[in-house]
Structure 1
């Protein structure tokens, strides 16, 4: 049976998408018996969701209207008072929305993306591979040798650990889904290494819909929108 692993960045992308996260993760959940994840993907999601939501709050705060400075010649007009009230109500609405987002940061159950993510990873059909000290050592060695996949930070080994964990736990064909260029740019190297280590085939793609063919499920409109299809 072909395994499917979806990189952290695709789940995090749902925070900036116009599409329904629940609908997209329902598509992913249809692949449950095929899904296999290194546990660091869970850590990366939980660690980065707060950062992304914080950034959304900061962006909303910047949208608040500043003090209205109007020339004295028009200050007596009735519409000026209406404008000031509208600005105050606008700022209050932004403040309330920021409070809602900050509540989501504290409580993942209030976050629709995190809620769907946790439900997916709580499915007993989904395989979770746990890191070991040996796998961390291998990931460090891969980093030092400069072998792909390469994490962007000089002091992090996230991508290296994901890859070493998959190599250590899988023997079947693998579809790896990622928006991270380190996988696509080094596809030839990774395909060869996966074949040498497991005897099986690796496919690297950035589209969940490519994997849905395994279960004969058409992609939802939300997934089509996320992937830029028609």
Structure 2
């Protein structure tokens, strides 16, 4: 399979100096997967500069919060006077001293760039595809900022400079972004199923020959996604069910008259919904199409089944929608890629038509899976 092209926003790296959603070990795991033909980590110089500029401020806030956190020292009167109470008092004093030493040690390591996270990031960056400063791209970022085009907040050029670098340097095709600050993601989606900002998705699609953007909020999520794609059976092992066609006889004789049979429907292309909508089809065809998605055993089959089902979308019933919603919840081969554009669009269409009519518990579950409850954006430091 082709390499996975990855960009990680500065806020994700900075969070390792505080209370990250990712464990520190994920940096080692990502480093091992960063190689030609596997994961290609794109690292603009602007990201490295932002990390250097904001690292110490992030550390200071984290250490201050840790220092302020107090151990419970007040012991109720009925617990006092016992050996256990004495041991507790000693343990609290010991913990306070250990905390003081821990903070001092961390500050010393931080000032020397010798924190464990410093070393892990340095080793990861060595394997990344790095891009130097580019004045021409910076000028493009200025124009983008003055026009008010995303990504980034008003009068902020950093994310726009990074985006122009990615547009110029990343090969045609898909790009996976790990970010938490909302500059690349739609404000209408939650962390469980983050969709890219429509403006950026359309721009990437136009500039990168149909490429798609996918947004993750943690490195662990994208690494798990990559491993799942690696564990998928080869595409050649899957022979997708074709839509029923006319018999393949070259010609048919009827009362001595030569008849040319109708041209059979073309096989579905991977991930491309057929353009026509079948108005009236036998129920068994719809059942077969639903079953193909419900029992999907691979990402490739899921994409094909979704494309197939788009043909019958207008013929689906409430019961069909409930089966398909339940399948997205139960079947990891659907749930893992429910944020992929074709799968997501298909389920959103089912939501708009059936969410008010289906079982409330099921509706709540599918709403959570698709991330359809807007969250309050959290401003990140820097």
Structure 2 partner of 1:144: 146
Separation in 2 of the partners of 1:160 and 1:24?
A: 26
Q: Deviations over 1:83-110 (max 9, x none)?
A: 775554333222101112212321222x
Contact 1:173–1:202 (Cα < 8 Å) also in 2 = yes
Contact 2:175–2:213 (Cα < 8 Å) also in 1 = yes
Residues 59 and 133 (structure 1), Cα distance of their counterparts in 2 relative to 1, 3 Å cut: same
Structure 2 partner of 1:23: 26
Q: Does 1:119 align with 2:129?
A: no
Residues 211 and 36 (structure 1), Cα distance of their counterparts in 2 relative to 1, 3 Å cut: farther
Q: Does 1:161 align with 2:161?
A: yes
The alpha carbon displacement at 1:191 in A equals 1.8
Q: Does 1:216 align with 2:230?
A: yes
Structure 1 partner of 2:60: 54
**Structure 2: gaps (5+ residues):** 75-80, 187-195, 233-382
Separation in 2 of the partners of 1:45 and 1:213?
A: 28
**Structure 1: gaps (5+ residues):** 69-76, 219-230
The alpha carbon displacement at 1:56 in A equals 1.9
User: Which structure carries more relative contact order (alpha carbon 8 Å, separation 6+)?
Assistant: 1
Structure 1 partner of 2:181: 180
TM-score (norm: length of structure 1): 0.74
Contact 2:141–2:161 (Cα < 8 Å) also in 1 = yes
Residues 55 and 18 (structure 1), Cα distance of their counterparts in 2 relative to 1, 3 Å cut: same
Q: Deviations over 1:49-96 (max 9, x none)?
A: 32222112111221357999xxxxxxxx79898777555433322210
SS class of match (1:199): coil
The alpha carbon displacement at 1:32 in A equals 3.1
Q: Does 1:32 align with 2:38?
A: no
Residues 146 and 28 (structure 1), Cα distance of their counterparts in 2 relative to 1, 3 Å cut: farther
Contact 2:43–2:130 (Cα < 8 Å) also in 1 = yes
Structure 2 partner of 1:195: 205
Structure 2 partner of 1:73: none
The alpha carbon displacement at 1:171 in A equals 3.1
SS class of match (2:121): helix
TM-score (norm: length of structure 2): 0.47
Residues 67 and 26 (structure 1), Cα distance of their counterparts in 2 relative to 1, 3 Å cut: closer
Contact 2:71–2:92 (Cα < 8 Å) also in 1 = yes
Q: Deviations over 1:183-230 (max 9, x none)?
A: 112622112212323324032211313652597279xxxxxxxxxxxx
RMSD of the TM alignment (CA)? 3.4
Residues 19 and 199 (structure 1), Cα distance of their counterparts in 2 relative to 1, 3 Å cut: closer
Contact 1:175–1:203 (Cα < 8 Å) also in 2 = yes
Structure 2 partner of 1:89: 94
Structure 2 partner of 1:98: 103
Larger mean Cα displacement after TM superposition, 35-44 or 167-176 = 167-176
Contact 1:5–1:174 (Cα < 8 Å) also in 2 = no
Structure 1 partner of 2:8: 6
Residues 132 and 214 (structure 1), Cα distance of their counterparts in 2 relative to 1, 3 Å cut: farther
